[in-house]
A and B are shown apart, each in its own frame.
Chain A
Amino acid sequence: MTKISKKFPGVEWIEGTGDFIKIDKNKCSGCANCIRVCLAGCFEIFEKTARIISLDECMECASCWYACSEDAIQFFWPLGGTGYKCEWG
């Protein structure tokens, strides 16, 4: 199954990625760096730590992983053949 987004034309997301981004609540300081760098809006702050709203529009850029000053974000590639795809890259 694939999904599209009105916000980001020209991109499709294939389901079945697995949890390729995880947040370690114990490490998260709630600095919100992940929220500020994520153009897809995948994160929010809930009870003073970050949590994932949805990875449905994630472009797998890994910016959240780079920007996390506490190393609280684990990032690995989605399962093969899943996640975002674009014809115009």
Chain B
Amino acid sequence: MEKNFDVIVIGAGFGGSVAAKLCSDAGLKTLLLERSENVGDKVISGLTIPFQGFLFAPTYIRDGNPPFERPSDGIDNYIIKDIDKGDIYVDNSLKVPKPLSPIISFGYNTYCKPFCQWLSRKAIDAGVELRTSTTVIDFIKEDGTIRGILTDKGENIRSKIIINSEGSQGLLAIKAGMRKKYPPETISLADTYDYVMSKKDIDKIFGFSVKMCWGWDEQKIAPPLGYGNGLMVWPYRNSLHFMQDQCLRMDEKKVPNLKKVFNEYHHNITSKLSWWRDLVSPRIKLRARTWEGFEIYVGLDKNLRKLPKITDGMILIGDVAGLESTELCDGVPAAWFSAEIAAGVAIEAIKANNASKLFLKRYTERISRHPIIQWSISGINRYNLRLAQQEHSFKTLKKYIHNGWGLGTLSSFTTPFLQLLFLYIRKDPNIITKWIKMYFRYFQNWLHENFDYGHQDSENDIAHKKITKKETSFLFFLRIIDRITKKLIGMKKMQNLIVIPLANSMNRCLEIILPIFEPIYSLFLKLTYPIRNKLSKKLISFVDGANPSLFSI
């Protein structure tokens, strides 16, 4: 049996469903294939999708109501010097301060399954044909060009172009002769525990912060420094996700006995770390344990980074294109960005009736020009933690953690962030207010558990209330922002002479300024806490009761 489509997308993960929807939106006949029985059956979590993912995501994600578990206002880093003596240093500098937190958040903690299902339903709504329980086993190749796929059901399905988002192992990309098996030292095995815990307890113990633990190797409380993650705990709505992950090879040809050491780390941290032992342990129940191998340092290897992302008839997106983040170990933003770029190129290719490698080259070029993708695949703080262990220098350890998961991260992230920010503002003068509305809408959705395709909150009668004075002021505030943005966009000279050069040099400036600024900022936060806390409560109460139409696009 043979069928024809304009586009076939392989894999209904974070990238695949997005690429498929965008192709279908453009009128292309699109097939989305997924090997599991239900979308999201084979994904593992322990995930904060960072804010940049949402800000620069395809508009239907930013302007929609995706399901997530809890906003994340930042990270508490526990740097464990001596677990037995309780000698622990805490770096919690990377945190959105109140009153903005938790509404304006650092990211959104998410179960992958419901989120991927949300994305796939959006794709179906756009006209995509989704076929689950279908494993692609090979490609139809004619004159060196990929023309379709073969499934495990014996079907040959042809298409003008294929977008491959099969995930980090890249088995099909290897089969197509594009990629190769990554070396084990670039791969991490992520061991995750899903614990049920009451929302009340999570609110009290975790609030909105992800907790990360790092320790000297000899402490055996987390995977060795620089060879994967330390240990991370994500607070969800009614559950916790605990993850430890470690590279598959630490020295030449020597693979650690992960089965043994993971159990050892898990036992040590949960029995010796006081907040876990005394506060968390008595209040949790293990619900699931899963694991997955994923690329962690592929972006840091020059040769692997150069592996092709396109071939005649096919584009790779997300993890299979080597776009996993080296610091955050979170490939979702890059999967979304690359999916949008790939869909754009696929639409152009079909219009030009040309899916050759030469034509698709523009995809690789756009990926290499994307400031946040390039930032995310090149961060070296996590990798460098091994140097801190070798030196056994606490100062070095503190520095890398601060630069990777503390406020120091601003000195590497700000320039790429601002570059993309200005690009988006120039494209859409109303985007700042759309971002503000997104944050408020997401938070209101979280409070009321109102997500697309989910149950509707019966108490959400606020939608029918009259607009209050406060709400009118909020709308006025948004209108002012829109006006200012439009004026600033018109000032081309100022942008070219001041704003863009300043953004480009911001990382360097922050490297110099941050050490002076941070103690002052920290003191300011301490002194203003009571007033910020009061304001925060007022703001949350406003979002809780506000008419949802205020935040919709």
Complex contact A11–B293 (CB within 8 A): no
Residues of B within 8 A of A36 (CB): 255-260
Residues of A within 8 A of B45 (CB): 88-89
Residues of B within 8 A of A83 (CB): 36, 42
| A72 interface contact, C-beta 8 A | no
| B165 interface contact, C-beta 8 A | no
Query: Residue A89 contacts which of B113, B135, B255, B293 (CB distance < 8 angstroms)?
Result: B113
Complex contact A59–B288 (CB within 8 A): no
| A46 interface contact, C-beta 8 A | no
| B171 interface contact, C-beta 8 A | yes
Complex contact A67–B288 (CB within 8 A): no
Residues of B within 8 A of A86 (CB): 41-42, 44, 113, 288, 290
29 interchain pairs, CB-CB under 8 A: A8-B288, A9-B286, A9-B287, A9-B289, A10-B287, A10-B290, A14-B37, A31-B253, A36-B255, A36-B260, A37-B259, A39-B259, A39-B262, A59-B291, A61-B293, A62-B169, A65-B169, A66-B182, A66-B187, A67-B249, A78-B135, A79-B135, A80-B135, A80-B153, A81-B37, A88-B288, A88-B290, A89-B44, A89-B288
Measured between C-beta atoms, what is the minimum distance from A89 to chain B in Å?
4
The answer to whether residues A10 and B132 also contact, given A39-B258, A61-B189, A85-B37 and a CB cut-off of 8 A, is no
Give CA–CA (A33, B183) in the complex, Å: 14
Residues of B within 8 A of A82 (CB): 37
Measured between C-beta atoms, what is the minimum distance from B502 to chain A in Å?
43
Chain A, 55-74, CB within 8 A of any chain B CB = 59-63, 65-67, 69, 71
Q: How many residues of B contact A (CB 8 A)?
A: 50
| B22 interface contact, C-beta 8 A | no
Residues of A within 8 A of B259 (CB): 36-39, 41
Give the residue name and chain of the B residue nearest to A71 (CB).
B181
Give the residue name and chain of the A residue nearest to B241 (CB).
A88
Question: A11-B288, A59-B291, A63-B258 are known contacts; what are 15 more A-B pairs with Cβ within 8 Å?
Answer: A8-B289, A10-B288, A10-B289, A36-B259, A37-B258, A39-B189, A39-B191, A41-B259, A66-B248, A66-B293, A80-B153, A88-B287, A88-B288, A89-B43, A89-B288
Give CA–CA (A60, B35) in the complex, Å: 12
Measured between C-beta atoms, what is the minimum distance from A31 to chain B in Å?
8
Give CA–CA (A14, B41) in the complex, Å: 11
Give the residue name and chain of the A residue nearest to B249 (CB).
A67
Complex contact B181–A65 (CB within 8 A): yes
B residues adjacent to A (C-beta < 8 A): 35-38, 40-45, 111-113, 132-135, 137, 151-153, 169, 171, 181-184, 187, 189, 191, 194, 239, 248-249, 253, 255-260, 262, 286-293
The answer to whether residues A75 and B171 also contact, given A63-B248, A88-B111, A89-B44 and a CB cut-off of 8 A, is yes
Give CA–CA (A59, B91) in the complex, Å: 35
The answer to whether residues A63 and B187 also contact, given A8-B289, A39-B258, A86-B288 and a CB cut-off of 8 A, is yes
Residues of A within 8 A of B262 (CB): 39
| A47 interface contact, C-beta 8 A | no
Residues of B within 8 A of A89 (CB): 40-45, 111-113, 288, 290
A residues adjacent to B (C-beta < 8 A): 8-11, 14, 31, 33, 36-39, 41, 59-63, 65-67, 69, 71, 75-89
Residues of B within 8 A of A81 (CB): 35-37, 132-134
Measured between C-beta atoms, what is the minimum distance from A53 to chain B in Å?
13
Give CA–CA (A88, B255) in the complex, Å: 29
Query: Residue B42 contacts which of A31, A41, A85 (CB distance < 8 angstroms)?
Result: A85
Residues of A within 8 A of B290 (CB): 8, 10-11, 59, 84, 86, 88-89
Give CA–CA (A61, B40) in the complex, Å: 15
Give the residue name and chain of the B residue nearest to A78 (CB).
B135
Residues of B within 8 A of A65 (CB): 169, 181
Measured between C-beta atoms, what is the minimum distance from A8 to chain B in Å?
5
Q: Which of B43, B249, B289 counts the most A-chain CB atoms under 10 A from its CB?
A: B289
Measured between C-beta atoms, what is the minimum distance from A84 to chain B in Å?
7
Give CA–CA (A88, B238) in the complex, Å: 12
10 smallest CB-CB distances across A and B, nearest first, come from A10-B288, A81-B133, A85-B41, A88-B288, A80-B133, A61-B293, A80-B135, A36-B257, A88-B194, A33-B255
Residues of A within 8 A of B151 (CB): 80
Residues of A within 8 A of B41 (CB): 84-86, 89
Give CA–CA (A74, B529) in the complex, Å: 58
Give CA–CA (A80, B135) in the complex, Å: 5
The answer to whether residues A76 and B171 also contact, given A37-B255, A67-B249, A85-B36 and a CB cut-off of 8 A, is yes
